[in-house]
Amino acid sequence: MKTERVPRIVLGAGAGAVLVGAVALFVPAGLGGQAPAPAPGAVARAVSAARAGAQASLPELAALIGDREKWLRARPGDDASWAVLGGAYVERGVRSGDTASFARAEKALERSLAAWPARKGNVDAQLGLGSLANARGDFRAARKWGEAVRKSSPRRWQAYPVLIDAYNGLGDYVSAGRAMERLRALRSGAPALSRASLVFRDRGWREDASALAYDAVALAATPAEKAACLVRLGDLAWERGEPAEALASYGPALRLVPGHAPALAGRARALAALGRTDEALRDYGAALKAQPLPQYALEAGELYESLGLDEDARTQYEVLRVRATEAAAHGVNGALVLARYEADHGSPDTAVRRLRAEWAKGHRSVHVADALGWALYRAGKHEEALPYATRATEQGLRSALFAYHRGRIERELGEWGPARRHLAEALRINPHFSPLLAPKARRALAALGEPAEGGYAAEEDGSPRAGSPPPREGASASRSPSSGGER
């Protein structure tokens, strides 16, 4: 008979953006009754982080992986150690960009379930599979695993971060909020606060999100976890259009964990906004070396393009395509970043096809809605684009990019008042939101000017021309894709 397992959190990591989510590893007491106490050193520090519900460093994570691999070569029937190893592989993949680790994670977690099935109570492997599904962008599968654990073990707080990520990816923000409330009822400390900060941000409650992020920094138990919380705080400042304040968070994060990729990428955005482009390009290069995410390559390429360095931009876009292809081979869904690239720099029709497929899967987050609306606009389907752009901007998240996209679509449709309002909103939220698009937003807004009697239309290149009176303000407010499918 299996011994009773008392789970202890080992690692909890919040991943940025864009992406990807939080992963938790669970070390059941006694590791199935077979494993000895951890050896002194990095593995012991990883387990110590576990007891604090904190994130271990990458070297400590590597030591834990090596320790469990060695253990399992001699004891291949230890289901608990397979679950630990699978979760560690997921964590490594998320934090290093090594998507090949996800295939290893899947095999390890399947070995755990083969030795001790889910129906008999193997909660740890189910949680690992939920985290793996979120990391790969398979939000339906993540929801399935998370809800299975919640049903069988409703007080296992580790199920709720999995569910929050899954619900967010599916665009079910009401359920994400409920999962966050349950998480906070069951768990205090930095992991829960950091999660709640993101949920509040998605609701548009920016001050509350920042307050929780500050508290998470104060309560973080390890340098790695504190660095992740500082990055969250910096990202919130960046989204508010405060690059100098963002730098004040990214700098300490990098002192705690040199080479921390999300901190480097965040600092690159802020430096570019402040006109320090050479330093920004340096940081993007370092971020891509540490964690070669397609999103970082897209951002770097657009910064190069904004500087007129088209050949360097093309090099970064090729990095994006290569990395996305490699990730896809390991089961990672890179449709969103690839579609954003295609819409602005490649084939908008290809972007539309990718994003329609995502929508059909039920991946209806505000990010997919915004990207699909913009891809449709770029493909010349302006009427069809607006409902998706409207949906993206009316869920709560205050995004300069979303507001810009909606304003441009409305301008194309001759909705001058809404276009003027949303372009101004984009620049008010974050006047530096994109080195390529923020200048276009300013030009488009200037071209619209103040409303004049009789109205005017604006051409795609930004020059005004005579036209019919603008529609009334808010004329498009009721347009929104139905929850049951596209219209």
Mean pLDDT for all residues in the chain: 87
Q: For residue range 324-336, list pLDDT tens digits in order.
A: 999 999 999 999 9
Whether the Cβ atoms of residue 289 and residue 258 lie closer than 8 Å to each other: no
pLDDT-based confidence at residue 188 (cuts at 50, 70, 90) = confident
pLDDT for the residue 461: 41
Q: What is the DSSP string of 317-335?
A: HHHHHHHHHHHHHTT---H
Domain range list for the chain: 1-167, 188-291, 335-466
**Class of the CATH domain delimited by 335-466:** mainly alpha
CA-wise closest residue to 363 among 35, 64, 86, 142: 142
pLDDT-based confidence at residue 455 (cuts at 50, 70, 90) = very low
pLDDT for the residue 54: 73
Token pair belonging to 367: 């990010």
Residue 12's alpha-carbon distances to 8, 79, 129, 336, 339, in angstroms, are 11, 21, 15, 25, 30
Task: Say yes or no to pLDDT of 126 above 90.
Answer: yes
The CATH number, out of the four listed (1.20.140.10, 3.40.50.720, 1.25.40.10, 3.30.930.10), of the domain defined by the range 1-167: 1.25.40.10
State what percent of residues in the chain have pLDDT above 90.
79
pLDDT for the residue 18: 24
Residue 375's alpha-carbon distances to 180, 244, 460, in angstroms, are 32, 32, 16
Token pair belonging to 327: 């990730």
Contacts of 268 (CB under 8 A, 6+ apart): 279, 280, 281, 282, 283, 284, 287, 299, 300, 303
Mean pLDDT score, 282-295: 97
State the alpha helices, DSSP H only, in 21-57: 31-34, 42-51
**Cα-based torsion angle of the residue sequence 250, 216, 210, 266 in order, rounded to the nearest 10 degrees:** 20
Whether the Cβ atoms of residue 409 and residue 382 lie closer than 8 Å to each other: yes
**Cα-based torsion angle of the residue sequence 109, 159, 15, 254 in order, rounded to the nearest 10 degrees:** -100
Q: Are strands 464-466 and 456-458 parallel, antiparallel or unpaired?
A: antiparallel
Q: For residue range 27-79, list pLDDT tens digits in order.
A: 443 333 344 444 558 888 887 776 666 788 999 999 999 999 999 999 999 99
Q: Do domains 188-291 and 335-466 have the same CATH topology?
A: yes
The CATH number, out of the four listed (1.25.40.10, 3.40.50.300, 2.40.110.20, 1.10.3720.10), of the domain defined by the range 188-291: 1.25.40.10
CA-wise closest residue to 376 among 366, 368, 367, 386: 386
Task: Say yes or no to pLDDT of 11 above 90.
Answer: no
Q: For residue range 412-425, list pLDDT tens digits in order.
A: 999 999 999 999 99
Task: Say yes or no to pLDDT of 154 above 50.
Answer: yes
Q: Fill in the DSSP letter of residue 361.
A: T
pLDDT-based confidence at residue 451 (cuts at 50, 70, 90) = low
Q: For residue range 361-394, list pLDDT tens digits in order.
A: 999 999 999 999 999 999 999 999 999 999 999 9
What pTM was computed for the model?
0.86
